[in-house]
Amino acid sequence: MMSKNLRIANSNFIDQTSRISFKFDGKILYGFKGDTLASALIANDIHLVGRSFKYHRPRGIMTCGSEEPNAIVQVGNDASMTEPNTRATEIELYEGLEASSQNCWPSVNFDIGSINNFFSPLIPAAFYYKTFMWPANFWKLYEYFIRKSAGLGKSPTQPDKDIYDHRYLHCDVLVIGGGISGIIAAKTAAKNNLNTVLIDDKNNLGGTTLFQQNECFKINNSYSNEWLKKEIETLDSIKNLTIKTRTTLAAYHSYNYLLARENLTDHLDLNEKKDKIRQRLWKIRAKKVIIATGAMERPLIFNNNDRPGIILSSSIKKYIDYYGVKCGQKISLFTNNDSAYETAISLSNSGVSINSVIDIRDKSNSLIVKQAEKLGIKIHWKHTVVNTNGYKKINSIEIMKLSDDGTAVVGKKIKDECDCLGISGGWTPRVHLFTQSGGKLKFRDVDNVFLPDKSELDQISIGSCNGDLELDEVIKNSVNSINKFLNVNNNDYKNLEIISSKEIDKKNIWLLPSDKPFGKTKPFLDFQNDSTANDIKLALREGFKSIEHVKRYTTTGMATDQGKLSNMHALGIVAETANLKMGELGTTTFRPPYTPLTFGAIVGRNVGKFFDITRRTPIHDWHVKCNAEFENVGQWKRAWYYPIENESMHEAVQRESKAARDSAGILDASTLGKIDIQGSDASEFLNRIYTNAWSKLEIGKCRYGLMLNEDGMVYDDGVTTRLGENHYIMTTTTGGAANVLGKLEDYLQTEWPELDVYLTSVTDHYATVSICGPNSKKILSKVIPDLNLSDKEFPHMSFKNALIDNIKCRVMRISFTGEHSYEINIQSSYGKSLWEKCFEAGKEFDITPYGTETMHLLRAEKGFIIAGQDTDGTMTPVDLQMDWIISKKKYDFIGKRSLYRSDTIRDDRKQLVGLLTDDPNEVLEEGAQIVLETKKQPIVMLGHVTSSYFSPNLNKSIALAVVKNGKKLKGQKMFVPMKNKTINVTITDTVFFDKENKRLNA
Amino acid sequence: MLNYNSTIIEAKEFSDIKISEVEPTLKINLRGKNRDFVTKIGKELSIILPTDPNTSSGNKELNLLWLSPDEWLIYSNDKNNLKTINSLEDKLFNDISKTKLGSVTNVTDHWIMINLKGPKIFDMLSAGCPFNFNKFKDSKGAVTQTLLNHVDVIIHNKDINNLNLFVRRSFSNHLWLWMNDSARFV
Amino acid sequence: MFLINCPYCGERDQSEFSAGGEAHIVRPKQPTELSDDKWAEFLFMRKNIKGVQLERWNHTHGCRKWFNMARDTSNDKIHAVYKMGEKPPIK
């Protein structure tokens, strides 16, 4: 495979003894342990790895890190675990890796979409916006083709089998980035007894210094890499220091809350990945944060700068020095600064032939340039590349001399053959995390960089992400900043002897000139979204001024790499064209995540049975055993209905409803909220929160109460029982329990702190078994033989303490079905046993378990409301025709004043009414609209159905609804228009069954 | 006879974590504000009511956990003095609630108590709990109320790597499963 | 995600808290004496400012106590927390 022998032997980081096989685009290839997919591909002489988004131009690997715009690949073949949009430069090679190119069809070598390239003059910025606007009804057709050709990669079609999880982490100091300054920071912090965490996205620490073995960069007479290696070795023995490699900082939020994704198994061989957490999302809360994320190299913007084989110069250096891989056999370098000479020297030392260095500057007398000259490397000063050739791989470049002002080229064209071009446009400090955290940037003119300025958080940036781009400055300034920031005095790095080449001569041209007219050139800016300098200029000509608008119009910086490489040039070109200063123009906003996160990492273990929290009643297992279907009510799982054999839901509910009225039914009511109220002002408190009066409720009696919001709208309801002089137990709706308690606490703590009242939730302490029906009394007398159940002794709306097998319980005679019924509250541990006991006792009466659906049906027959179903936050008690529950005597209660606001006393408000269908078998749909006039358009909608059932006890369909001015419309015929028909209905009273409440005492 | 039913079906053990439900004998929620209340409780229980935030007090039979400036949780797992323990609720209710000093509520079955033991329990908790355990870990008797996998919990630091965790009964099955799942990956 | 210093429990993660809107709006003692307009002012009118705002917060998943907070809405900086009934420590 490696016929061209692109490997050199002397890499310290690649284990050339352990060969790894992998597949790329179906072809079996080999690499070594320590390779990334990118380095292994280059070693196999594969540069063409993808097609560009819009023009489908061939694109190759361009970088060696997270900023990679081109080498975006699909990993994996499995329908459940394939992952699109991963960067080949960050994928560590493992045995069995399968990857493929994206955004090309049928293959990366022959891509049909590349025809777009020939039409590219016809596809300018915002082409899609402009073209597919009309005719409007053609959109369906356009969309089909756009969807097919657009997008990057394929999403998996099956659920992800991998496991992800989350962890919280609290530390004193978080250091982001394990380069030279990050290592100094972490060591200083940990040695000073601060609980420190150091993270780095690579598999080992050291950053670029790790492979910097150059005479021009020395510390205490050692090569900088050797010095740093020793520093790294000492880290293991330091207490308080946690090091996390393969961990990418994804987001930096306020209050030093940060999210980092740790890759735990992505680098492992296929068979080692199983049953392990793939990725872990760390939720970090750090007292102090030190950002040491370094800088990334900029490309240069010139005609046809996007061909495979055009690679950032520093990446070529990493490929040769770290991976031992040559990016080409004959390499040219194109630069505006000194750093490309480091690459030149590294290549030369490894025996790779260098064509020449093309430098746009007039000269440079730095140490490093002199060293390169000494090695005999040819340099074209004040020259630029005007064009490149080679379709699937670069094969030559064209060079011309720059005019004095740098806006044009002069003289003769030189053609240079090469198979790789390294480009370096200077350095951009990685300020992404700093700005994510809310920090403001400042602009430094001398080398055109944005640097961290002001921040509200306890954080600093050090090293090259803070603009220190030379070794001596990195160390000196980092040490000073760290000492000051941590308020420590670390002298370990005070007297280092540092040799560092200094760059003095600087020059920058954002858009390099060509011999061709500008309109005929293709200087790419955003390689992933395929936008060129021409697009930026077009946007400006069309009147866009704000950089945020230019970005969106041209889509520059809007791809998955968020324009890590393109943003600075886009800003530069806009500033230059609009004649503004870059500092004034500002930057676009960098948003989290820094690199894309998998959905798996975002959701963690909250999948499957942990997707949402579930609450169970103490009787849950019985319902499961008896084949109940469950309904979610808030977080609760409630028994919905209990189908027997092949019963449908309708059949089961009809049977349950009939049984409850004919003999006996049993319901698990444990989910109702229960609040224990004690204190000398408990009665006064109830007076203030409920609409009705409570002072005169006798001990041992129960009362129904309605709770309003201050705006007069019904909030919750329930029965409250007076247990003692200063002791009540309140029930709330199942879904409203937590909110009601919160609201009541709010009033007690903030508005009425003078009241002596204490609230304690006891919802989970009690299981509630509700028995209803004409035989309920007989059943209860079997369960609690000692209890006198006579109507005189134990009337409706009263309560008794009782003992069942020596266990204390509370029995309330209350009813939500209109039947004679009891609720037994017992401590939860005995709930299931009590239920079984009641069920056993009821067997001779065919006691029937019923679920929430039957409960809803039975109460609808009686016209009882369900807060939240028949009310929606816009219904007053008057609207519900419940005027009787509003005390006229009380001076105040929550919401009272609102009941006579101009809006709440309108008579044309929507009011609760009953509805009967003309055809008794026609059951209305809940939510259906109610109208008076079906012909005249627009049809006026007067209200809607809130509850609707077929009543087996009345043998007809019944419904509750809210209708404008409904109170006065009793007997009125109305219409419910449905998709295929119109249903005729009549407005009635809300109570359909047992209007005289005879059954309560039957 | 009525049978006692636990919410938790089976206990699992992991190498560095042991999770087990502890059958409770008594839990009482106490609320009160004034000095008389604090003094009275001290006398009744012969334990000083903890008034420092996030702390507890107790003796062999009883633990008193601070929950808020006017709220405490008493719990006991003492099986040897069941009679005294069982009569405690009535005694306190008569002496505190009926005398209008505060409130006394039986919450024995409102909370399920789960004991967590082992060197890795805090790693397991950190999978779903935003609370900073760095100092808590080493302070015996410390108490916190927080969220664990979005569920309210009270955590009582009994001893080094030995916690009692209280969760509302209806959530306990879900949280139990979650903790067991989480413990797998520690 | 804020780090909120509950006046009772100390520093906790924001997920333990819930926000309760503008602070220092006192419920009128005699609502029945108020005109519709005055009542509506209490009921509906809330400030929405850019800058330091006084807000109510509840330590829902901790001690369940309500307290007040002075927070800058433009950068989320919490300048102070103080107990119910106390005066705001800053203007």
**Which chains lie within 8 Å of chain B at 3 or more CB pairs, if any?**
A, C
Reference A784, options A825, A819, A815; nearest CA is A825
Closest chain C residue to the Cα of B130, Cα to Cα: C13
- A883 has which bridge partners? none
Tokens found for residue A906: 């309108």
> Which helix or strand (DSSP H or E) is residue C37 part of?
helix C36-44
Taking an 8 Å cut-off on Cβ atoms, the answer to whether B130 and C15 are in contact is yes
Our CA angle for B12, B17, B22, nearest 5°, is 60
Measure Cα distances from A518 to A409, A522, A718, A942 in Å: 12, 8, 77, 65
Question: Which burial class, exposed, middle or buried, applies to A690 when counting CB atoms under 10 A from its CB (0-12, 13-18, 19+)?
Answer: buried
Q: Is the Cα dihedral A519, A520, A525, A526 positive or negative?
A: positive
Helix axis angle for A224-235 and A180-191, nearest 10°, is 30
Taking an 8 Å cut-off on Cβ atoms, the answer to whether B145 and C63 are in contact is yes
**For residue A132, what pLDDT is reported?**
57
CA–CA min distance C3, chain B (Å) = 10
Instruction: Tell me if chain C has a CB within 8 Å of the CB of A287.
Output: no
Question: Which residues, at least 6 apart from A376, have a Cβ–Cβ distance to it below 8 Å?
Answer: none
Maximum pairwise Cα distance, chain B: 52
CA distance A692 to A877: 11
Tokens found for residue A964: 């404008």
**For residue A530, what pLDDT is reported?**
84
**Which chains lie within 8 Å of chain A at 3 or more CB pairs, if any?**
B, C
Tokens found for residue A787: 């209890």
CA distance B25 to A859: 39
Residues of C in contact with A250 (CB under 8 A): none
Rounded to an integer, the average pLDDT of B129-135 is 97
C 27-66: CB under 8 A from A? 27, 30-32, 34, 36, 39-40, 42-43, 56, 58, 60, 64-66
Instruction: Please tell me which of the candidates C8, C10, C11 has its beta carbon nearest to residue B68.
Output: C8
Measure Cα distances from A15 to A96, A322, A553, A717 in Å: 17, 11, 47, 72
Taking an 8 Å cut-off on Cβ atoms, the answer to whether B146 and C62 are in contact is yes
Residue type at B112 in one-letter notation: I
CA distance A856 to A847: 18
Encode pLDDT of A730-744 as tens digits: 999 999 999 999 999
CA distance C86 to A945: 48
CATH code reported for the domain at B26-106:
3.30.70.1520
**For residue B9, what pLDDT is reported?**
65
CA distance C9 to C20: 18
User: Are β-strands A72-75 and A241-244 bridged in parallel, bridged antiparallel, or unpaired?
Assistant: unpaired
Q: Backbone dihedral region of A820: left (phi > 0), alpha (psi from -120 to 50 degrees) or beta?
A: beta
CA–CA min distance C34, chain A (Å) = 8
B18-22+110-184 maps to CATH 3.30.1360.120: yes
Main-chain phi, psi angles of A882, to 5 degrees: -115, 35
Question: Which residues, at least 6 apart from B87, have a Cβ–Cβ distance to it below 8 Å?
Answer: none
Instruction: Please tell me which of the candidates A254, A255, A892 has its beta carbon nearest to residue C32.
Output: A892
Q: In chain C, what are the domains?
A: 3-83 (3.30.2270.10)
Question: How many beta-carbon pairs under 8 angstroms link A with C?
Answer: 56
CA distance A187 to A184: 5
CA distance A484 to A218: 26
**For residue A124, what pLDDT is reported?**
63
Measure Cα distances from A56 to A48, A68, A100, A696, B106 in Å: 12, 17, 16, 82, 72
Rounded to an integer, the average pLDDT of B110-139 is 96
Question: Which residues, at least 6 apart from A118, have a Cβ–Cβ distance to it below 8 Å?
Answer: none
CA–CA min distance B88, chain A (Å) = 15
Taking an 8 Å cut-off on Cβ atoms, the answer to whether A726 and B97 are in contact is yes
Closest chain C residue to the Cα of B143, Cα to Cα: C9
CA distance A450 to A431: 8
Reference B105, options A16, A679, A973, A423; nearest CA is A679
Length of chain A: 1002
Q: What is the DSSP string of A63-103?
A: -SSTT-SS-EEEE---TTT-EEEEETTTPBP-TT-EEEE-S
Residues of C in contact with B132 (CB under 8 A): 11
Taking an 8 Å cut-off on Cβ atoms, the answer to whether A765 and B110 are in contact is yes
Instruction: Please tell me which of the candidates B144, B145, B147 has its beta carbon nearest to residue C15.
Output: B147
Tokens found for residue C69: 């907070």
Instruction: Tell me if chain A has a CB within 8 Å of the CB of B72.
Output: no
Residues of C in contact with A896 (CB under 8 A): 31-32
CA–CA min distance B161, chain C (Å) = 22
Residue type at A663 in one-letter notation: S
Q: What is the DSSP letter of A690?
A: B
pTM of the model: 0.93
CA–CA min distance C84, chain A (Å) = 7
Q: What is the DSSP letter of B86?
A: H
Residues of C in contact with B69 (CB under 8 A): 8, 63, 65
CA distance B71 to A758: 9
Question: Which residues, at least 6 apart from A408, have a Cβ–Cβ distance to it below 8 Å?
Answer: A402, A513
**For residue A150, what pLDDT is reported?**
47
Q: Are residues A411 and A401 in contact, defined by beta-carbon separation less than 8 angstroms? A: yes
**For residue A145, what pLDDT is reported?**
55
**For residue A547, what pLDDT is reported?**
87
Q: In chain A, what are the domains?
A: 1-156 (3.10.20.440), 163-295+429-500 (3.50.50.60), 299-426+507-585 (3.50.50.60), 670-770+778-842 (3.30.1360.120), 906-1001 (2.40.30.110)
Taking an 8 Å cut-off on Cβ atoms, the answer to whether B67 and C63 are in contact is yes
SS (H, E, C) A500-521: ECCCCCCCCCCCCCCCCCHHHC
Question: Which residues, at least 6 apart from A321, have a Cβ–Cβ distance to it below 8 Å?
Answer: A11, A211, A212, A213, A346, A350
Instruction: Tell me if chain A has a CB within 8 Å of the CB of C76.
Output: yes
Tokens found for residue A458: 């306890």
CA distance A619 to A862: 27
Closest chain B residue to the Cα of A619, Cα to Cα: B5
In chain A, which stretches have pLDDT less than 70?
Answer: 1-4, 10, 103-152
Rounded to an integer, the average pLDDT of B136-160 is 97
Our CA angle for A357, A360, A365, nearest 5°, is 75
Taking an 8 Å cut-off on Cβ atoms, the answer to whether C1 and A742 are in contact is no
**For residue A1, what pLDDT is reported?**
39
**For residue A130, what pLDDT is reported?**
60
Q: Are residues A292 and A463 in contact, defined by beta-carbon separation less than 8 angstroms? A: yes
Instruction: Please tell me which of the candidates B103, B129, B177 has its beta carbon nearest to residue A678.
Output: B103
- A813 has which bridge partners? A798
Query: Radius of gyration of chain A from Cα atoms?
Result: 38
Main-chain phi, psi angles of B99, to 5 degrees: -90, 10
Instruction: Please tell me which of the candidates A255, A901, A902 has its beta carbon nearest to residue C2.
Output: A255
Residues of B in contact with C11 (CB under 8 A): 132
List the C52-58 sheet strands across, edge first.
Answer: C18-22, C52-58, C66-72, C78-83
Rounded to an integer, the average pLDDT of C2-15 is 97
**To probe the interface with A, which of B1, B4, B5, B129 has the most A CB atoms within 10 Å?**
B5
CA–CA min distance B43, chain A (Å) = 21
CA–CA min distance A602, chain B (Å) = 13
- A931 has which bridge partners? A941, A975
CA distance C54 to C78: 10
**For residue A123, what pLDDT is reported?**
62
Instruction: Tell me if chain B has a CB within 8 Å of the CB of C11.
Output: yes
CA–CA min distance B69, chain C (Å) = 7
Instruction: Tell me if chain A has a CB within 8 Å of the CB of B97.
Output: yes
CA–CA min distance C87, chain A (Å) = 13
User: Are β-strands A277-291 and A459-461 bridged in parallel, bridged antiparallel, or unpaired?
Assistant: parallel
- Is residue B163 classed as helix, strand or coil in its secondary structure? strand
Instruction: Tell me if chain C has a CB within 8 Å of the CB of A750.
Output: yes
Taking an 8 Å cut-off on Cβ atoms, the answer to whether A764 and B127 are in contact is no
Closest chain B residue to the Cα of C12, Cα to Cα: B131
N-term to C-term CA, chain C: 25
A534-561 burial code (b ≥16 CB/10 A, e <16): bbbbbbbeeebeebeebbbbbbbbbbbb
Encode pLDDT of C9-26 as tens digits: 999 999 999 999 999 999
Instruction: Tell me if chain C has a CB within 8 Å of the CB of B136.
Output: no
**To probe the interface with B, which of A630, A765, A834 has the most B CB atoms within 10 Å?**
A765
Tokens found for residue B83: 């009679």
Closest chain C residue to the Cα of A738, Cα to Cα: C60
Main-chain phi, psi angles of A916, to 5 degrees: -120, 140
Instruction: Please tell me which of the candidates A826, A828, A837 has its beta carbon nearest to residue B169.
Output: A828
Residues of chain B with CATH 3.30.70.1520: 26-106
Q: What is the ipTM of this complex?
A: 0.97
Taking an 8 Å cut-off on Cβ atoms, the answer to whether A804 and B181 are in contact is no
Residues of chain B with CATH 3.30.1360.120: 18-22+110-184
Instruction: Tell me if chain A has a CB within 8 Å of the CB of B108.
Output: yes
Taking an 8 Å cut-off on Cβ atoms, the answer to whether A898 and C56 are in contact is no
Closest chain B residue to the Cα of C2, Cα to Cα: B130
How confident is residue B145, by pLDDT bands cut at 50, 70 and 90?
very high
Closest chain A residue to the Cα of C75, Cα to Cα: A438
Taking an 8 Å cut-off on Cβ atoms, the answer to whether B107 and A762 are in contact is yes
Taking an 8 Å cut-off on Cβ atoms, the answer to whether A170 and B98 are in contact is no
- Is residue A906 classed as helix, strand or coil in its secondary structure? coil
Question: How many beta-carbon pairs under 8 angstroms link B with C?
Answer: 38
**For residue A119, what pLDDT is reported?**
61
Residue C34 has pLDDT above 80, yes or no: yes
